[in-house]
Amino acid sequence: IVPAVTELLVAQLMWLDFDNSTKPIYLYINSSGTQ
C-alpha cells in the first residue's frame, strides 16, 4: 500500500470512530495473499 492510500484509509477509519464510537467498524480485505 502506498503512503497516500494508507493515510486515506486511516483518516476514514478515524472519522468512522469519531462519528459513532460504539458501532463496530468492519474492514474486508480482498487479497490473494501474494505479491
Residue 19 has a pLDDT of: 97
pLDDT of residue 34: 74
What pLDDT score was predicted for residue 13?
A: 97
pLDDT digits (tens, 9 = 90+) for 1-35: 789 999 999 999 999 999 999 999 999 988 888 76
Q: How many domains does the chain have?
A: 1
Q: Does residue 28 contact residue 19 with C-beta atoms inside 8 Å?
A: no
Q: Where in the sequence is the domain holding 19, given as residue range(s)?
A: 1-35
CA 20 from chain centre, in angstroms, equals 15
